[in-house]
Structure 1
Amino acid sequence: MGGAVSLPCTARSGQGTPSRLEWRFQGSGTTDFVYYGDKLTDRYKDRAKFYPNELYLESVTRKDMGAYTCQVVGNNGLTENTVRLIVQVPPSKPLAQVPSSVTIGNRAVLTCVETDGSPPPTFKWFKNDMVMPEDPKTNTLFKNSSYTLDPKSGVLVRSQA
């Protein structure tokens, strides 16, 4: 995050100068113009540079993550190409939510939450300094355990005994 990125435009107009070239951004449910009417739009004018074959973004943030489409209209009609930008953000310290007590034989749900990482991180749970496998039946040390573990959501559920 905070670095610069160059997005290539491989769409071509055929012979001569294109009659129209524009860049659009689609992300988080919105579509905005980046370059339209031969100029950068207000949102991008202070942090982007336009070149005929690329769009250069300075100081990218998580909000810049999405699809950028370069559209060219010329002698051969309309052509376009889309570049997907993924902004990587390191995860923050996760927050484990563990019940303070559980009655023997009852179900227990433990969660691990982290909302800063991009792309979203995966989670591992440990018991006595040992990584717990997703499927307890795959490890002799955990084969008698009854739990489900989802590394994508960070949820560990101890089943009822």
Structure 2
Amino acid sequence: MAFVLTLAVLLSVTGCAELITVTSPQRYVNVTVGGSLLLQCSFISTTKETTNLVVMWNFVEKSSSSLKQIYYSQADQDVVPPEYKGRLSLPPSHGTGGNVSIGISNMQTADSGLYTCEVRNSPDIGGKTEASIVVQVLEPPSAPFCAVHGDVAVGHLVTLTCHSEKGSPPPTYTWVRLDQARARQPIMARVTPTGILEIRNISEFKFGEYQCTSTNAMGTSTCMVELSQEAEDGVIAGAVIGALLGCLLIALVVWFIAHQVKKHRYAAVKTPAAEMKGSSRPPPATSAVSMEMSSPSHDSTHGDDDEARA
């Protein structure tokens, strides 16, 4: 590598080397979310021939280290990835006077990162072939979500959380307590960079309405939460009532089952007793009548026999 650089310097001194210089007037650029951005880049070459000119724009996302090519041009043939079609455009002056700038529309927070313009123009063998631009897409914080965690009772630890899903740069969070006159009162407690407020050994003087403010360079957004022992008492009362109703339901089920068992036992005992009572009854009256009716006919038969003997 040192040999190549030394050779390039020697050739440039003797007038036999072709050098290229790529520059950009931009180093850091901010753009609002949804806006458009012109990434400026140009080159100067000691050779006038641009038949073999190659232009590349590469992008490294802020939250990633992988390189992505978003534009490639060689011999006046442009290549744009599918995800950038309709968003990436070339300015009218592109290709003239060494201008190789590009434009990108509908910028999103995922478009924040490092953009590099690279130009190759053979027979150039040395020089500065790249220029980089840092882009940050700005977005105001979204409405934060506030929540209460812990046992809201005197002497306990209570944690308040606040978080915005969106916001670039990442928002910072501040908490204040609002008194009865809606005046903002400072809080003597630790607030983490992620919006967590810890209130240790809470007292009645710390009950009330709390407001969280999410802030970045693009704006602010707030949310509020009520911290009161009455709300906790209501939760406890609801839990007690629910437990009592559950016990009552269990008692009703047990009573119903016991009643059904008792009913079946009574029916099982009553059936054999009824059968035994039916078997001990006297013969029906019709049997006695038939016997009485049969006796006279027997006596009359004997009378006829006596008369015959006489």
For 1:130, the equivalent position in structure 2 comes to 184
Which of structures 1 and 2 has the bigger CA Rg? 2
Amino acid at match of 2:194: S
Could you tell me how far 1:67 is from its partner in structure 2? 1.3
1:6 alignment partner, one of 38, 45, 48? 38
**Which whole-Å CA distance do the structure 2 matches of 1:149 and 1:68 have between them?**
36
Q: Percent identity?
A: 29
For 1:136, the equivalent position in structure 2 comes to none
Residues 43/15 of structure 1: CA separation in 2 closer, same or farther (3 Å cut): farther
Instruction: Flag structure 1 segments of 5+ consecutive residues without an equivalent.
Output: 133-141
What count of residue pairs does the alignment treat as equivalent? 147
Residues 110/118 of structure 1: CA separation in 2 closer, same or farther (3 Å cut): same
Could you tell me how far 1:78 is from its partner in structure 2? 5.2
Asked if the contact 1:8–1:55 (Cα under 8 Å) also holds between the matched residues in 2, the reply is yes
Deviations 1:20-55 (A, max 9, x none): 220011114242111124322322232112333312
**Which whole-Å CA distance do the structure 1 matches of 2:129 and 2:201 have between them?**
58
Matched, 1:97 2:150: no
Alignment of 1:27-46 (within 5 A): 27=61, 28-29=63-64, 30-38=66-74, 39=78, 40-46=80-86
Asked if the contact 1:13–1:79 (Cα under 8 Å) also holds between the matched residues in 2, the reply is no
Asked if the contact 1:107–1:160 (Cα under 8 Å) also holds between the matched residues in 2, the reply is yes
For 2:168, the equivalent position in structure 1 comes to 118
Amino acid at match of 2:190: T
Q: Which structure shows the higher helix fraction?
A: 2
Residues 23/102 of structure 1: CA separation in 2 closer, same or farther (3 Å cut): same
Amino acid at match of 1:86: Q
Asked if the contact 2:151–2:157 (Cα under 8 Å) also holds between the matched residues in 1, the reply is no
Could you tell me how far 1:60 is from its partner in structure 2? 1.3
CA RMSD across the alignment: 2.4
**Which whole-Å CA distance do the structure 1 matches of 2:161 and 2:195 have between them?**
6
Could you tell me how far 1:14 is from its partner in structure 2? 2.9
Matched, 1:88 2:141: no
Instruction: Flag structure 2 segments of 5+ consecutive residues without an equivalent.
Output: 1-32, 203-310
**Which whole-Å CA distance do the structure 2 matches of 1:13 and 1:155 have between them?**
54
Alignment of 1:42-57 (within 5 A): 42-50=82-90, 51=94, 52-57=99-104
**Which whole-Å CA distance do the structure 2 matches of 1:123 and 1:114 have between them?**
9
Matched, 1:149 2:191: yes
Give the TM-score normalised by the residue count of structure 2. Answer: 0.42
Deviations 1:77-111 (A, max 9, x none): 45212212111112211101113633433332211
Could you tell me how far 1:120 is from its partner in structure 2? 1.3
For 2:59, the equivalent position in structure 1 comes to 25
**Which whole-Å CA distance do the structure 1 matches of 2:154 and 2:132 have between them?**
55
For 1:64, the equivalent position in structure 2 comes to 111
Give the TM-score normalised by the residue count of structure 1. Answer: 0.76
Asked if the contact 2:150–2:159 (Cα under 8 Å) also holds between the matched residues in 1, the reply is no
Asked if the contact 1:111–1:154 (Cα under 8 Å) also holds between the matched residues in 2, the reply is yes
